[in-house]
Amino acid sequence: MPAPARTPRSRWVEEGLRALAAGGPDAVRVDSLAKAIGVTRGGFYWHFEDRGALLEEILDAWERTSIDEAIERVEAGGGDAREKLRRLFDLAASSRDLLKVDLAVRDWARRDPAVAKRLRRVDNRRMDYMRSLFALICDDEDEVEVRCLFTFSIFVGSHFMRTDNGPRSRREMLELALDRLTTPNFGAL
């Protein structure tokens, strides 16, 4: 019967995610993954049709863990909408590796329509979830939308910005912004 998997399929995907996070899709090279794992490319082509097939599976893995798991974990904690938003933000900021994959995929999506389609699916689900939370905090529909946009923008944008020391530190700024965003009807014009 089956012999144990020494370097199973998942290992290549795992190492692929690491490479993607570190250097984008162009850094996902069969050669370097093999070197990182400590084997030659021999086994790779037993598992995968070609390099493209690996990239697909990498995206599959990212898509699964980045929506389902995330929302699940936030919901599991319970609490009101404000606490959940807090937790969502902390979660997004915490798991360093997953975040880097996320950013790499975002750039990748700019030039690959198939990747863009996947990202759209993921972002829409995240946005829907956020909308449902903000709707519990404020009544006005436009207000909800604007807060979603701000929140999502800060989450994504802040990692692509390189600004240092204005009057306040980055961390302080995010805190301040978050407080604003989770305060009921602060700006119902």
Contact between 32 and DNA by CB under 7 A: the answer reads yes
Residues of span 48-107 touching DNA by CB under 7 A: 50-52
Rg (CA), the chain: 20
Question: Nearest distance from residue 123's CB to DNA, in Å?
Answer: 28
Give the C-alpha separation, 77 to 6, whole Å.
37
Cα dihedral value 130, 127, 104, 101, nearest 10? 50
Question: Nearest distance from residue 162's CB to a second copy, in Å?
Answer: 4
- The site for a second copy (CB under 8 A) is made up of 22-24, 26, 100, 103-104, 106-107, 109-111, 116, 119-120, 123-124, 127, 131, 141-142, 145-146, 148-150, 152-164, 166-168, 173-174, 176-177, 180, 183, 186-187, 189
Residue selected from 18, 47, 131, 159 as contacting DNA according to rule CB under 7 A: 47
Half-sphere exposure of 157 (CA within 13 A, CB side): 9
Residue selected from 31, 68, 80, 107 as contacting DNA according to rule CB under 7 A: 31
Question: Nearest distance from residue 25's CB to DNA, in Å?
Answer: 11
Specify the amino acid at residue 127: M
- Residue 43 binding: pick among a second copy, DNA, none (C-beta 5-8 Å cut-off by kind): DNA
Cβ distance to a second copy smaller for residue 83 or 123? 123
Cβ distance to a second copy smaller for residue 5 or 22? 22
- Residue 180 binding: pick among DNA, a second copy, none (C-beta 5-8 Å cut-off by kind): a second copy
Contact between 46 and DNA by CB under 7 A: the answer reads yes
Q: Please report, as ranges, the residues that interact with DNA according to CB under 7 A.
A: 1-9, 29-32, 37, 39-43, 45-47, 50-52
